Amino acid sequence: MIKHTTLFTTLLLASSMAFAANTFETADTNRDGMLSAPEYQRYVFDYDVYTNRDTNNDSLLDEEELGISVFDADDFASWDADGDTYLTYDELNISLFDYYDEDDNGYLDNDEWNKAGDDGWFDM
Ligand SMILES: [Ca+2]
Ligand SMILES: [Ca+2]
Ligand SMILES: [Ca+2]
């Protein structure tokens, strides 16, 4: 009986982990209604934003891999800090979070999150 319960719990965990990054609620691991930079990086950026885009696995994202034109738009001009038309992991990780953290409080709230999603950064 105990073993059976453990197995069931494991399966339940495994199936919920497969969708761990799919909602604001699951990424907000401490349930404070906001995503901290580490929560965002682990459950959104690593899980979906960057990994899925770097199709040739060179740890650089060009415009085609990004699927979003950040190199031409004025809004995004500062993202490519060294101007080499690639975004590295760090360039995108930091820029994306800062850009959508509109009130600069170091967290993404639900509205800020939705804006990033609406702009096509993730489909969650
Ligand atoms: Ca949180
Ligand atoms: Ca660059
Ligand atoms: Ca914020």
Under 8 Å CB-to-CB from 104, ≥6 apart: which residues?
Answer: 98
How many A from CA of 24 to the centre of ligand 1? Answer: 9
Distance CA(6)–CA(105), nearest Å, equals: 40
Name the average pLDDT for the chain: 80
Identify the pLDDT of residue 2. Answer: 52
Report yes or no: 60 and 67 within 8 Å, Cβ to Cβ.
Answer: no
What is the torsional sign of CA 90, 94, 96, 99?
Answer: negative
Write the pLDDT tens digit of every residue in 19-78: 444 688 888 999 999 999 999 888 888 877 887 888 998 989 988 888 877 777 777 778
How many A from CA of 30 to the centre of ligand 1? Answer: 5
How many A from CA of 10 to the centre of ligand 1? Answer: 24
Residue boundaries of the structural domains of the chain: 20-118
Ligand nearest to the CA of 77: 2
Identify the pLDDT of residue 73. Answer: 73
How many A from CA of 101 to the centre of ligand 3? Answer: 4
